[in-house]
Amino acid sequence: MKLLEFAFLIVALAAAVPARGQETAGALQSQPKGWVDLFPSADFKGWTHLSLPADKPLSEPNQWRVDAARGLLVCDGTGGHDWLRYDRELADFIFHVEWRFVPKEGGKGYNSGVFMRNSADGAIWHQAQVGSAAGGFIFGDTLVGGKTQRINLRPQMTSMRVRPAGEWNTYEVTAKGRTLSVWVNGGVTSEFTGCEVPKGYIGLEAEGWPIEFRNIKLKEMK
């Protein structure tokens, strides 16, 4: 192989490998005080199961359950599109969630999300996208100039840190003032600095794939 061809190969390989950037500690590790455990009880007290979009009926049977023995919140992925909403409206906070997809043979297009500053019915929503070796960016239907508008910050992602189906991932979504951000497995991957929604609800999404959640924690900021 000629030297010039080798140089082009190195450049191509570097472009094909997602940049990871500098590793940073998550808030749960670096700010250990002030966290509240949100892991639901078997009766889901304090959480509400809602359809997406809000005007659609909920699919039956309920695909969400608590596996207390393993400390997991499980979405079986057998129903339609819905979400679990934590029933306290929040302004500034950090929402810590660990998750993994249960691998399916031949599975493609794994999909879920972690919500922040949603409206109570989910009509206004901001999501940290969840996928298999994909995701970590913010998108949603938010207010821009007081009107509902779709945003998608995937093109502005700073690094790809999400691991493939079967492996655990850690997300920390932060809402502070007009800024929403997502920290994934050691680094911030997406930031939205123009949020016009001052408060809302956090939650977890079901979108047709089996997924498990653990260590669901909240830290409010004053």
pLDDT digits (tens, 9 = 90+) for 127-150: 999 999 999 999 999 999 999 999
53, part of any domain: yes
Question: Does pTM surpass 0.75?
Answer: yes
Q: How far apart (Å, rounded) are the C-alpha atoms in residues 190 and 183? A: 8
How many structural domains comprise the chain? Answer: 1
| Residue 23 maps to a domain | no
pLDDT of residue 84: 98
CA distance 31 to 49: 30
Residue 27 belongs to some domain of the structure: no
**pLDDT one-digit tens code per residue, 15-64:** 333 445 579 999 999 999 999 999 999 999 999 999 999 899 998 889 99
> Does the residue 216 lie in any domain?
yes
Show Cβ contacts of residue 218 under 8 Å, excluding neighbours closer than 6 positions.
Answer: 35, 36, 38, 86, 90, 93, 94, 95, 96, 202
Give the angle subtended at the CA of 101 by the CAs of 212 and 199, to the nearest 5°: 60
Q: How far apart are CA 78 and CA 101, in angstroms?
A: 13
Q: Which amino acid is at 126?
A: H
- Judged on CB neighbours under 10 Å (0-12, 13-18, 19+), 61 is exposed
Beta strand 36-37 with 211-220: parallel, antiparallel or unpaired?
A: antiparallel
Q: What is the CATH number of the domain that holds 76?
A: 2.60.120.560
Mean pLDDT, residues 154-171:
97
Residue 67 has a CB neighbour count (10 Å cut-off) of 12
Distances (CA, A) of 119 to 89, 94, 208: 9, 17, 22
CA angle 155, 30, 220 (to 5 degrees): 75
| Domain span at 211 | 37-220
pLDDT for residue 97 is more than 50: yes
Residue 66 in domain:
yes
Whether 1 shows a pLDDT value over 70: the answer reads no
Residue 157 lies in a domain: yes
The model's pLDDT over 199-208, given as tens digits with 9 standing for 90+, comes to 999 999 999 9
Question: Cα Rg for the chain, rounded, in angstroms?
Answer: 18
